[in-house]
Structure 1
Amino acid sequence: MRKNCSSTIQQFIKAPDQKENNKNTELSPEDLEIGKLSENEFRAAIIKKLNEVERKIEKQANEFWTAIIKKLNEVERKIEKQAEFWSYFTKEFEIIKKNQTELLEMKNTMDQIKQNTDSLNARVDTIEEQINIIEDRQAEWLQTEEERELRIKKNEENLQEIMDSMKSKNIRIIGIPENMEKENGAESVLNEIIEENFPNLGINREMCVEEGFTSPRFVNVKRATPRHIVVKLAKRKDKEKILREVRKKKIFWNSLKRIGIKSSLKVW
């Protein structure tokens, strides 16, 4: 039986070698040693080999699973990094989206402001145009009013000249102290006034005065101002020249005293 066992063991050991290399038909020293083992020793050797194989398989399995776990951890870390990236990207995208929304709102606000500004500018242009029209009308009205006033003034002067020519040849002198009129006489007083205020009038120095007197004729002690001097000229043209200059100059002086000259309606 042992012989048969040894033969079987030899065949078991020899068979793989023959499959791997048909040219090698000789047994190795280890195979020969195994062939010399008893059945119990053989079983112990087989169990030992199986244990070694089991340990190797277990070691390889552990190494394999360790590598797998390591790879899985690496993949997990990569996934976490990618998740962090996508989280960051999502946040940035939300920020950009929010900013875009705010920019769109700002653009809409700016468009609304522009529309309001354009509307205000249009209203301002309309108001300015209306103001220009009003100013033009006002200028026309002022010009028309000024022309009207000039016409009225011219008509009044013409009417005054006509009235003066139609009236008497008298003029009234206002503001001459009564003692001056008594000392110098009405003719001398009139000549002094003409020489002092109208040197270029073109009237002869010795103007012909037909008559002169104070008005009213009687002295009123309660009267604060001197009585007027009424002078009747010989020529109506002289009176018209004097009154024309009076209307131009407005203010007259005699011996540093302000006086007045106007036409007199008194008729002798």
Structure 2
Amino acid sequence: MQKNESVIWKIEITHSGQQTENQVKKQGSNIRDIWDNIKRANLRIIGIPEGVEKDKGMENIFEEIIDGNFPSLKDTGFKIQEAQRAPNKLNPNRPTPRHIIIKMAKVSDKERILKAAREKQNVTYKGTPIRRSADFSTETLQARREWQEIFKVLKGKNMQPRILYPARISFKIEGEIKIFPKKQKLKEYSNTKPRLKEILKGLL
């Protein structure tokens, strides 16, 4: 999937030589939205050891995760269209296991699982902590990762941070929910809030 995304990016860049920078950015955003829409029903599961699926199969592993962490969802009739490791090829030098991508039959099923995971917070597989998230395009994933350090700090201060689509951060301050699409906007806002500026010192 990442290879196909890269090919499309190259095609767009090749045909945009005489276009303005804003037009190129807009096209890039449109391509990202297309890929995110394709992946809309996908769940990304992070931290499952390599090879465990050989004996059980990925669908059975997924069912074990649901049974062990979200028993209230056990009999809700989830349907899986596809399950695979990403990337497809194993890199022996990779220090962490490849992610597992689960394509659900319904977007609503994915949303219910993510909601339950947020509420439980500590999700495990056979005692090993795992993480779960929606599956996005490479560009969206990278943009969301750039908020991670700020997210951790805000969460530590109980400011209820969330990463919103495509890569915006929201959090609660002075009784209000604030949303920022870029770090520069957050920096400008923090300059008006001394406490927030101190909390985010060195991160913006």
What is the TM-score normalised by the length of structure 1?
0.35
Bigger CA radius of gyration: 1
Question: Greater share of strand residues, 1 or 2?
Answer: 2
More RCO (CA 8 Å, sep 6+): 2
What is the TM-score normalised by the length of structure 2?
0.46
Question: Greater share of helix residues, 1 or 2?
Answer: 1
